[in-house]
């Protein structure tokens, strides 16, 4: 089997690289690093607008929805190239929320949300985790109660990254408190500026900001509930699978490797062996990503496969950056990059579901193994 990129894909990577060369300068790279790869600062807001203008936020959306109709594999190639240069990825509103609305939303909801996401007018923070519901997400307690024509939302979400600049919360809530815990959940779109919503910053290590978001008697219209009432678990797990495909990109690791080779001056045997082993691991991670993206293009939903890419890439990020710091001059650019990737690695191992939970998914859904005896 030949895993090399064909001419069409090579031309696409070249186009993406030329765009980055023209639009993503040192100032943008520094802002991206400071903000943990989120397009939240003034320089990157402009960069994001240029991506939107090219249709690159909605790369894989069907043309009928105003997208570019490109494959998930092409989207992966773009995200990987972006990651190589430290540019912010296509955000989760376009890459996870929108495809989930396309699958499960009503026609009216598709008309309401998709064009607004496409134009950048709607941007979501992802409201899943709570103080007592992270890995065991289905234990969540934030609720939405029907009151005539509206839903009334109450509760607290934790780690809502990007809520400080988002327009809406893509919020999972309990709508049936009497149903089994996975069955009574729904997803609602809540405007961040609705009365009763409060956003409170939480700064994590490495200086990256996320938020706690409180909801007190927040009233949203009935149609803000996406798809069917109490079917929300399916929507959240689908959106999470889309999210995990995009967490595992390897571009940042390849750049670090290339910069390391440029920096190293002494090639003793153990250094050469170490570098060879790291290059095998990076290639392995890249091919796992190819498979997950290819599966989406075949109409399959990578589940265990998306979890595999996430585990392999995020753990490699920590071990690769630690290894590089042993090898290179601490004042070099490679060392600066390694320190940045090292600090970023722990939250990547948590974000989108922890790697322990991903291993559970691989064991149960990928390998068909039984659930652990203790659970
Ligand atoms: C920087 C950052 C940004 C985030 N952004 C968002 C966001 O935008 N939106 C959002 O909704 N969430 C977000 N999260 C939350 C993230 O998804 C959760 O932190 C994660 O799901 C883990 O939940 P928890 O923090 O409650 O940890 P817990 O679930 O309490 O887990 C604690 C530890 O126990 C382990 N553990 C738990 N259960 C098991 C088990 N069954 N088997 C083995 N080990 C287990 C976990 O792996 C972990 O190591 C973010 C988190 C961080 C750190």
Distances (CA, A) of 145 to 175, 198, 217: 6, 19, 10
In a domain, 296, yes or no: yes
Domain count, the chain: 3
Q: Which of 127, 149, 117 is nearest to 215 (CA)?
A: 127
Say whether both 223 and 278 belong to one domain.
no
CATH value at residue 326:
1.20.140.10
Non-local (6+) Cβ contacts of 118 within 8 A are: 52, 57, 58, 61, 65, 66, 67, 94, 98
Say whether both 162 and 79 belong to one domain.
no
Say whether both 198 and 256 belong to one domain.
no
Cα of 208 vs centre of ligand 1, distance in Å, is: 16
In a domain, 119, yes or no: no
Distances (CA, A) of 88 to 91, 159, 293, 337: 8, 19, 19, 15
- Alpha-carbon span 216 to 195, nearest angstrom: 8
Say whether both 304 and 344 belong to one domain.
yes
Distances (CA, A) of 28 to 24, 249, 254: 6, 20, 20
Q: Whose CA is nearest to atom 30 of ligand 1?
A: 134
Which three-class secondary structure string do you get for the chain? CCCCCCHHHHHHHHHHHHHHHHHCCHHHHHHHHHCCCCCCCHHHHHHHHHHHHHCCCCCCCCHHHCCCCCCHHHHHHHHHHHHHHCCCCCCHHHHHHHHHHHHHCCHHHHHHHHHHHHCCCCCEEEECCECCECCCHHHCCCEEEEECCEEEEEEEECCCCCCCCCCEEEEEEECCCCCCCCCCEEEEEEECCCCCEEEEEEECHHHCEEEEEEEEEEEEEHHHECCCCCCHHHHHHHHHHHHHHHHCCCHHHHHHHHHHHHHCCCCCHHHHHHHHHHHHHHHHHHHHHHHHHHHHHCCCCCCHHHHHHHHHHHHHHHHHHHHHHHHCCCCCHHHHHHHHHHHHHHHHHHCCCCHHHHHHHHHHHHCCCCCCCCC
Average pLDDT value over all residues in the chain? 91
Say whether both 258 and 207 belong to one domain.
no
Pocket test for ligand 1, best of 40, 89, 135 (most atoms within 8 A of CB): 135
- Kindly tell me if the per-residue pLDDT of 217 is higher than 90: yes
State the CB neighbour count (10 A cutoff) for residue 360: 18
Q: Is 243 a catalytic residue?
A: yes
- Please tell me if the CB atom of residue 364 comes closer than 6 angstroms to any atom of ligand 1: no
Q: Considering 42, 74, 90, which residue would you say is the last residue of a domain? A: 90
Q: What is the pLDDT of residues 304-328, one digit of tens each?
A: 998 999 999 999 999 999 999 998 9
Q: What is the pLDDT of residues 139-157, one digit of tens each?
A: 999 999 999 999 999 999 9
- Alpha-carbon span 9 to 77, nearest angstrom: 8
Q: What percent of the chain has pLDDT over 70?
A: 98
Say whether both 229 and 254 belong to one domain.
no
In a domain, 2, yes or no: no
CATH value at residue 196:
2.40.110.10
Q: Considering 67, 90, 113, which residue would you say is the last residue of a domain? A: 90
- Please tell me if the CB atom of residue 251 comes closer than 6 angstroms to any atom of ligand 1: no
Closest atom of ligand 1 relative to the 204 alpha carbon: 1
Say whether both 199 and 255 belong to one domain.
no
Say whether both 62 and 130 belong to one domain.
no
Cα of 130 vs centre of ligand 1, distance in Å, is: 10
Say whether both 58 and 32 belong to one domain.
yes
In a domain, 262, yes or no: yes
Q: What is the pLDDT of residues 222-262, one digit of tens each?
A: 999 999 999 999 999 989 877 877 777 899 999 999 999 99
Say whether both 279 and 360 belong to one domain.
yes
Say whether both 229 and 205 belong to one domain.
yes
Cα of 133 vs centre of ligand 1, distance in Å, is: 8
In a domain, 109, yes or no: no
pLDDT band at 374 (very low <50, low <70, confident <90, very high): low
- Please tell me if the CB atom of residue 159 comes closer than 6 angstroms to any atom of ligand 1: yes
Q: Considering 178, 211, 234, which residue would you say is the last residue of a domain? A: 234
Pocket test for ligand 1, best of 96, 126, 131, 134 (most atoms within 8 A of CB): 134
In a domain, 305, yes or no: yes
In a domain, 243, yes or no: no
Closest atom of ligand 1 relative to the 129 alpha carbon: 11
Q: Is the Cβ–Cβ distance between 144 and 225 less than 8 Å?
A: yes
Per annotation, catalytic residue among 156, 243, 259, 305? 243
pLDDT of amino acid 90: 84
In a domain, 69, yes or no: yes
- Alpha-carbon span 67 to 260, nearest angstrom: 38
Host domain of residue 229: 124-234
Cα of 134 vs centre of ligand 1, distance in Å, is: 5
Q: What is the pLDDT of residues 354-366, one digit of tens each?
A: 999 999 999 998 9
375 vs 312: which has the higher pLDDT? 312
Instruction: Count Cα atoms within 13 angstroms, Cβ side, for 52.
Output: 19
pLDDT of amino acid 351: 83
Q: What percent of the chain has pLDDT over 90?
A: 67
Cα of 4 vs centre of ligand 1, distance in Å, is: 36
Closest atom of ligand 1 relative to the 135 alpha carbon: 29
Say whether both 261 and 333 belong to one domain.
yes
Q: pTM score, two decimals?
A: 0.89
């Amino acid at each position: 089997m030949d895993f090399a990129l064909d001419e069409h894909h090579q031309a696409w990577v070249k186009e993406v690289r030329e765009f980055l060369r023209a639009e993503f300068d040192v100032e943008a790279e520094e802002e991206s690093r400071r903000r943990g790869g989120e397009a939240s600062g003034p320089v990157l807001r402009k960069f994001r607008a240029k991506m939107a203008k090219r249709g690159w936020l909605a790369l894989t959306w069907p043309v009928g929805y105003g997208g570019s109709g490109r494959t998930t594999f092409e989207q992966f190639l773009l995200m990987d190239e972006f990651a190589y240069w430290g540019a912010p990825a296509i955000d989760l509103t376009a890459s996870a929320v929108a495809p989930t609305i396309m699958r499960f939303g009503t026609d009216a909801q598709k008309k309401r949300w998709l064009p607004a996401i496409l134009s950048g007018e709607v941007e979501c923070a992802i409201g899943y985790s709570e103080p007592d519901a992270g890995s065991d997400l289905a234990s969540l307690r934030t609720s939405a109660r029907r009151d005539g024509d509206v839903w009334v939302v109450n509760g607290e979400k934790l780690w809502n990254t990007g809520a400080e600049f988002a327009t809406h919360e893509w919020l999972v809530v309990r709508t049936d408190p009497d149903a089994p815990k996975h069955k009574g959940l729904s997803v609602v779109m809540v405007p961040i500026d609705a009365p009763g919503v409060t956003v409170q910053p939480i700064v994590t290590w490495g200086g990256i900001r996320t938020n706690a978001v409180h909801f007190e008697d927040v009233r949203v219209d009935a149609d803000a509930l996406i798809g069917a009432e109490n079917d929300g678990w399916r929507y959240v797990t689908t959106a999470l699978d889309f999210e995990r495909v995009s967490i595992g990109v390897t571009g940042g690791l390849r750049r670090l490797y290339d910069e390391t080779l440029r920096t190293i001056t002494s090639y003793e045997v153990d250094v050469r062996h170490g570098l060879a082993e790291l290059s095998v691991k990076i290639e392995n991670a890249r091919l796992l990503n190819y498979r997950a993206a290819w599966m989406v293009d075949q109409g399959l939903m990578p589940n265990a496969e998306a979890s595999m890419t996430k585990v392999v890439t995020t753990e490699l990020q920590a071990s690769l950056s630690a290894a590089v710091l042993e090898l290179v001059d601490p004042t070099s650019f490679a060392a600066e990059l390694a320190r940045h990737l090292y600090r970023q690695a722990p939250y990547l191992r948590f974000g989108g579901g922890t790697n322990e939970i991903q291993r559970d998914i691989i064991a149960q859904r990928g390998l068909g193994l039984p659930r652990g005896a203790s659970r």
